[in-house]
Structures are given as structure tokens and as C-alpha cells.
A and B are shown apart, each in its own frame.
Chain A
Amino acid sequence: MGDTILEVNDLQTYFFTSKGTVKAVDGVSFSIEKGQTLGVVGESGSGKSVTASSIMQLIPNPPGEIVGGEINFKGQNLLNKSIDQIRKIRGNEISMIFQEPMTSLNPVYTVGDQISEVLRLHQGLNKQQALEKAVVMLEKVGIPSPEQRVHEHPHQMSGGMRQRVMIAIALACNPELLIADEPTTALDVTIQAQILELMQELKDEFETAIMLITHDLGVIAEVADEVAVMYGGRVVEKTDVMTLFKNPQHPYTAGLINSIPKLKADTNRLEPIKGIVPDPFSFPNGCKFANRCDYAVDKCQRYEPQLEELDSGHIVRCWKHDSLNLKAE
């Protein structure tokens, strides 16, 4: 441990729209170490996916723009690199898997072509070598009879299979960082279990650092080592997974944990967070969560709290965390 792969510092990604500026990501910092899985949780509009796209520099411009911060990948700031240099990194040293296995594969090429493409591009393999490696990758991600499957088109495969192919493409060049944006959300639970297990195995085998973005706390609990909770474009709490579930310090984190039905406990009533995620233009001025928070006082409405380090590695952005006694059942 201690081998930092990715360090994001004060990242700011804004979208300049006709209705005004959306600060989709506003001062986000975190780091991921080799072989570590960082879970990023949040609801829609929290900025979790924009953070991922920012690292890959896949923000559509206009209207989006990374206006500040640093993205240090193995000590080098990606924001200072040319687009050609970024292209060499994308899909090679950092790769990404997306939510929709149906649309992220090109329907006119065979899966073999699509895996080969990255290999030929980044590792300079010839056609034959690339195809051989593609078969190996398919086998690794658990696709039966890969020699035949490599010649199939995406539509001949099920959703779970396609997600496996996506993972095969993402891991083909043995990346040091894998960004997975809701990789199992579109899949059924039994298939989700397969994919999560696969990601775990691959992480153990290759020591890949993983940034896993999801809204599902269950997935977080099962695979993440560290967790960052995002709300309104900001990290509101970050700590290791055990502490997060047992001792959440931010009211939003506690609210999220309490609003999901427990499989075991037969509670009669859920405790939802009140209100809804505001639209991007109407977040409160102070703490972004103030208008939905049960504990908010005047100060929270007016001034935004800074991130505060509680004890080793547990940081929280809340004025009142020390006077709260949050419980997560």
C-alpha cells in the first residue's frame, strides 16, 4: 500500500448553459492507491459521473469545462497533457466501463475486433496477436468457449456477457486504474453478483486500482475499501467502508443508509431523507445539503462547511458533526 495511483485535487468542472453555470463538480479531492477500490456514492446530480468523465477528459466542451484543480495520475497532472498524450493513456493506463452494456459496444464489429482494437492501438500488436490476446481476455472474464465467441457480434450476447466484454476491453491493456461508472446497474442481481465477483478477482490478480461509481450502497459495502459520498458536486464524507456504515458522520450519509430497506430487519417504516435533490441551479448557498437536513441550523444555511479530518482518513464536511449522534441501523 501507499502507492498512490491517482490523486485528484480540488477538481472543478463547470457546465456553462444558457440558463446559467452548473458547478457539477466543485472542489473534489480524493486519491486512490494501487490495488484499492474507491467507491463513490451519490444520487443523480451529485457529480459522481462528471468526476469520472473529468478524469478521462471526456467532458463535452462546450458546454462543459474543467476550470480548476489537478488530476495527478502517477504523479503527472493529466490536465497539462495534450490531447494526443491523453489518448495514449485512455484505454491503456486508465480505462472505463459504463453503465449501458447495450450501447457502449459498436454493433457492427465483432467483440474480437473491438478488443483487438485497443490492443493494436496501444500495444502495437498485429492482427493475429491481438486476436489471440482477445481470446485470452474473454476467457479471463469468464466467457464460455471464447474461441467461438470472439467472432460474435454484440447483439448475439446477453447484457451480462456484453458487460463482461466491456470489462475485457477495459482490462486488455492491463490498466493501472479502472473507472467503473454504475457497471452493474443495468444488470439483474444474479448477473450483478457474477460481475462484482469478476471485478474482485481481477483486482486481486492485477492489483488494478478501481474507482467504482454507484448509487447502490449494497454494492459499495461489498466491494469498496474506501468510500467517498458525494452530494451537490462535493465530497461530503470520505472514510473506509467499515467506518462509513458503522459510524457515519454526515447527516446525508446516515440518511442514505437509513432510507434503504434492510433485507434482514423487518422495519415497518423507512426513514427517507426529506425533499428531493434540488435542480442544479437551486442548491442552497451554505451547506449544499442544508435544505434537506434535519439538523440544519442558521449557520448551515449561510456558510458552507469545509472538509474536516476527524481521525485518520475520515473526513467530513459538516458544521455540526461533533454534536450529532447519528445512527445507522
Chain B
Amino acid sequence: MNVEPEVRQESIETEEVEKYSQWKDAWRRLRKNKMAMIGLGITLVVIFVAIFAPLLAPHDPYYSPVMEDGQAELSMQGPSLSYPLGTDRLGRDILSRIIYGTRISLIVGVITQLIALAIGITLGSVAGYYGGIVDDVISYFINVFLAFPFLLFAIAIMAVFQDPGIEQVFLALGLVTWPGLARIVRGEVMSLKEEEYIEAARSLGAKDFRIMTKHVIPNCLAPIIVTVTLGVAGAILAEAGLSFLGIGAQPPMPSWGLMLNAGRDYLRSDPRMMWFPGLAIMITVLGLNLFGDGLRDVLDPKMRD
């Protein structure tokens, strides 16, 4: 044994050091950020609504009393006790459609970002880690993709599909958002690979795959999380835009964008039909953006200290 008494002493002292981790610390600082907490609150409510939509919605969002039962008097009803936000042209309950619309928006946001993550992390980390010609080629693609205006590009992709639908929206928006993510991952990886612990892993004999998955990517999670949070908001907006234009979700889906589209004809006579879905989009996107901005402040080391 070569353990010196003084060394033991040293060990005991740090026993008192407060348990601390980066995520806990981030959470502590996030809690102090009022706007971020409002954003988080809104986001949680939206998620809650999406999950429990069948329990919360007073009516079936697809059921049209006008078409199916010929109750023409239920068309375009103003707010009432049984239809708190009124009904649309087909007599469907607007509140129920907005509640179910939450599901569509969130799913679009999440799946789009998953696609973007899969492509973005893979290409971004490969480009950043290997550098050289691999990086040149991938960076070239990233730049080409980034050169197109976001929504225009999505519209162009949607135009390629014969019959647009929500699945095509996932794909189109995923393809449009990955380059931004890839660029961020690439930059992170490029600076991370100079870290001494990466070299240490190499000196231990670790293979590239292990270095990437165990050492590189876990250390660039923070900016990825921020980008994805803001990306979900962007995707929700974009889906609403595409659906509004009629090349996204198709009727009778209770997509918010589609509802805006349907309300367009009544903009002057009955603006309520556009207000409510518009408000739903605004609140959801605002919540995600506030939360994402707060996360950025807390997680981005360049903003710290």
C-alpha cells in the first residue's frame, strides 16, 4: 500500500462537497428565469391537452351533424354552452377540433425533429469528426440546403408528392430542418474533438464509434436540445403554413392550419373561425420559444459567467 495519510485526509474533505450535476444546476438557473418558466408551463399544458384530448374534448372532432344527420341549423353556430367556441360550416365543434389539433401539431413537431436529428447528428458529427474531404462534401450539402428559404423549400418538396398529407409534411419539414442542426453539431464536434479527453480515449485504444457515441455526442447535447426545442416550434408554424396553403394536412383532419384555411372565407363576417386556431398556434409556439430561449441562456456556455 502506498496510500499516504495526507491523501486520506484529502478524500474525506470532499465528502462534504455538495452533490451537483450540470443538469441540476441548469434546472436551478432555469427556474429563476420567469419567461422560461411561463414557456415551460404553456408547453406542459399543450402536451397535457394533446395526451388527454379524448377526455377533454366535448364532441367528436370529426363528427359533422350537418353532413351526417342533416342538422343544417348547427352550421356556423356562435359560442354556446354546448359549443363553447361555436361550430364551423359543417357543424363541427371548434373547441374539440382545436383540442385534437394539438395532437397533430405536436406530432408534426416531434417527428419532424426526430428526422432532422437522425440526419443532422449523423452527418454533422461525421463531418466534424473526420474533417477533410468528408467535411467538405457534407458542408457543401448543408450550405446548399440552407441557401433555400425555409418555407419555400418545404413547399417545393410537397409539390413533388402526388397527394399531399400529414406524412409528407413530416418528411418535407424533416428534410428542411436537418441542415441547421447538422451545422450546429458539426461545429460542436469540431471543437470537442480537440478536447484532451477525446485524445485520452484514443490513447486508451477506443474506436471511432465509441469515441463519437460515448465522448463526443453526450457532450454536445445541450445545444442540440435547445435547437430541437426551437425547431419543434418552427415545425408547428411551418405545418400550419403548409396546411393553410392546402398542401399540408388534408380535410377532415383537425389541423390548425387547415382550420385557418376554412375560416378564411368568413374573415369579415365571422372572424372567430380564424381567431381560435390562430390563437392556439400563437400560444403553443410562444410557449416553446420562450422555453427554448430560456434553455439557451442556461445551457449555452458562452452565455454563462
B266 → chain A, closest Cβ, in Å?
53
Instruction: Verify if B22 is at the interface (C-beta below 8 Å from A).
Output: no
Q: Considering the chains assembled together, what is the distance between the CA atoms of A279 and B28 in angstroms?
A: 21
Whether the Cβ atoms of A274 and B5 lie closer than 8 Å is: yes
Instruction: Verify if A1 is at the interface (C-beta below 8 Å from B).
Output: no
The stretch among B8-16, B272-280, B282-290 that forms the contact with chain A is B8-16
B302 → chain A, closest Cβ, in Å?
16
Which residues of A sit under 8 angstroms from B28, Cβ to Cβ?
A: 18
Instruction: Verify if B6 is at the interface (C-beta below 8 Å from A).
Output: yes
Instruction: Verify if B200 is at the interface (C-beta below 8 Å from A).
Output: no
Whether the Cβ atoms of A279 and B17 lie closer than 8 Å is: yes
Interface string of B1-44 (1 = CB under 8 A from A): 00001110110010011100000000010000000000000000
Residue of B nearest to A292 (CB): B9
Select B6's contact among A274, A279, A282, beta carbons within 8 Å: A274
Whether the Cβ atoms of A274 and B17 lie closer than 8 Å is: no
Contacting residues of chain A (106-162) with chain B, CB-CB under 8 angstroms: none
Q: Considering the chains assembled together, what is the distance between the CA atoms of A190 and B37 in angstroms?
A: 55
Q: Which of B6, B7, B16, B18 has the most C-beta atoms of chain A within 10 angstroms of its own C-beta?
A: B6
B222 → chain A, closest Cβ, in Å?
20
Q: Considering the chains assembled together, what is the distance between the CA atoms of A264 and B9 in angstroms?
A: 31
Which residues of B sit under 8 angstroms from A19, Cβ to Cβ?
A: 18
Whether the Cβ atoms of B5 and A278 lie closer than 8 Å is: no
Which residues of B sit under 8 angstroms from A276, Cβ to Cβ?
A: 10, 13
Further pairs besides A19-B18, A275-B13, A279-B17: 6, Cβ < 8 Å? A274-B5, A274-B9, A275-B9, A275-B10, A282-B13, A291-B13
Whether the Cβ atoms of A272 and B13 lie closer than 8 Å is: no
B residues near A (Cβ < 8 Å) are 5-7, 9-10, 13, 16-18, 28
Q: Considering the chains assembled together, what is the distance between the CA atoms of A263 and B6 in angstroms?
A: 25
Q: Considering the chains assembled together, what is the distance between the CA atoms of A25 and B7 in angstroms?
A: 28
Which residues of B sit under 8 angstroms from A282, Cβ to Cβ?
A: 13, 16-17
Residue of B nearest to A279 (CB): B17
Whether the Cβ atoms of B6 and A272 lie closer than 8 Å is: yes
A284 → chain B, closest Cβ, in Å?
11
Q: Considering the chains assembled together, what is the distance between the CA atoms of A73 and B28 in angstroms?
A: 43
Q: Considering the chains assembled together, what is the distance between the CA atoms of A276 and B12 in angstroms?
A: 11
Q: Considering the chains assembled together, what is the distance between the CA atoms of A267 and B7 in angstroms?
A: 21
Q: Considering the chains assembled together, what is the distance between the CA atoms of A27 and B2 in angstroms?
A: 40
Which residues of A sit under 8 angstroms from B9, Cβ to Cβ?
A: 274-275, 291
Residue of B nearest to A294 (CB): B6
Contacting residues of chain A (249-307) with chain B, CB-CB under 8 angstroms: 272, 274-276, 278-279, 282, 291
Q: Considering the chains assembled together, what is the distance between the CA atoms of A275 and B8 in angstroms?
A: 8
A residues near B (Cβ < 8 Å) are 18-19, 272, 274-276, 278-279, 282, 291
- For the complex of A and B, the 6 pairs showing the least CB-CB separation, nearest first, are A274-B6, A275-B10, A275-B9, A274-B9, A276-B10, A282-B16
Which residues of A sit under 8 angstroms from B18, Cβ to Cβ?
A: 19
Which residues of A sit under 8 angstroms from B13, Cβ to Cβ?
A: 275-276, 278, 282, 291
Which residues of A sit under 8 angstroms from B10, Cβ to Cβ?
A: 274-276
Which residues of B sit under 8 angstroms from A278, Cβ to Cβ?
A: 13
Pairs A–B under 8 Å by Cβ, sample size 15: A18-B28, A19-B18, A274-B5, A274-B6, A274-B7, A274-B9, A275-B6, A275-B10, A276-B10, A276-B13, A278-B13, A279-B17, A282-B13, A282-B16, A282-B17
A92 → chain B, closest Cβ, in Å?
30
Q: Considering the chains assembled together, what is the distance between the CA atoms of A275 and B9 in angstroms?
A: 6
Residue of B nearest to A278 (CB): B13
Q: Considering the chains assembled together, what is the distance between the CA atoms of A272 and B6 in angstroms?
A: 9
Residue of A nearest to B14 (CB): A276
Which residues of A sit under 8 angstroms from B17, Cβ to Cβ?
A: 279, 282
Q: Considering the chains assembled together, what is the distance between the CA atoms of A276 and B9 in angstroms?
A: 9
Residue of A nearest to B28 (CB): A18
Which residues of B sit under 8 angstroms from A18, Cβ to Cβ?
A: 28
Which residues of B sit under 8 angstroms from A275, Cβ to Cβ?
A: 6, 9-10, 13
Q: Considering the chains assembled together, what is the distance between the CA atoms of A39 and B7 in angstroms?
A: 30
Q: Considering the chains assembled together, what is the distance between the CA atoms of A276 and B13 in angstroms?
A: 9
B231 → chain A, closest Cβ, in Å?
31
Q: Considering the chains assembled together, what is the distance between the CA atoms of A18 and B20 in angstroms?
A: 14
Residue of B nearest to A291 (CB): B13
B168 → chain A, closest Cβ, in Å?
49
Q: Considering the chains assembled together, what is the distance between the CA atoms of A279 and B9 in angstroms?
A: 15
Which residues of B sit under 8 angstroms from A291, Cβ to Cβ?
A: 9, 13
Which residues of B sit under 8 angstroms from A274, Cβ to Cβ?
A: 5-7, 9-10
Q: Considering the chains assembled together, what is the distance between the CA atoms of A19 and B16 in angstroms?
A: 14
A283 → chain B, closest Cβ, in Å?
11
Q: Considering the chains assembled together, what is the distance between the CA atoms of A220 and B10 in angstroms?
A: 28
Residue of A nearest to B6 (CB): A274
Residue of A nearest to B10 (CB): A275
Q: Which of B7, B13, B17, B28 has the most C-beta atoms of chain A within 10 angstroms of its own C-beta?
A: B13
A24 → chain B, closest Cβ, in Å?
16
A238 → chain B, closest Cβ, in Å?
27
Which residues of A sit under 8 angstroms from B16, Cβ to Cβ?
A: 282
Which residues of B sit under 8 angstroms from A279, Cβ to Cβ?
A: 17
B16 → chain A, closest Cβ, in Å?
6
B122 → chain A, closest Cβ, in Å?
36
Q: Considering the chains assembled together, what is the distance between the CA atoms of A18 and B116 in angstroms?
A: 38
Residue of B nearest to A276 (CB): B10
Q: Considering the chains assembled together, what is the distance between the CA atoms of A272 and B9 in angstroms?
A: 13
Q: Considering the chains assembled together, what is the distance between the CA atoms of A324 and B16 in angstroms?
A: 31
B285 → chain A, closest Cβ, in Å?
32
B29 → chain A, closest Cβ, in Å?
9
A36 → chain B, closest Cβ, in Å?
36
A315 → chain B, closest Cβ, in Å?
28
Residue of A nearest to B29 (CB): A18
Residue of B nearest to A19 (CB): B18
A268 → chain B, closest Cβ, in Å?
15
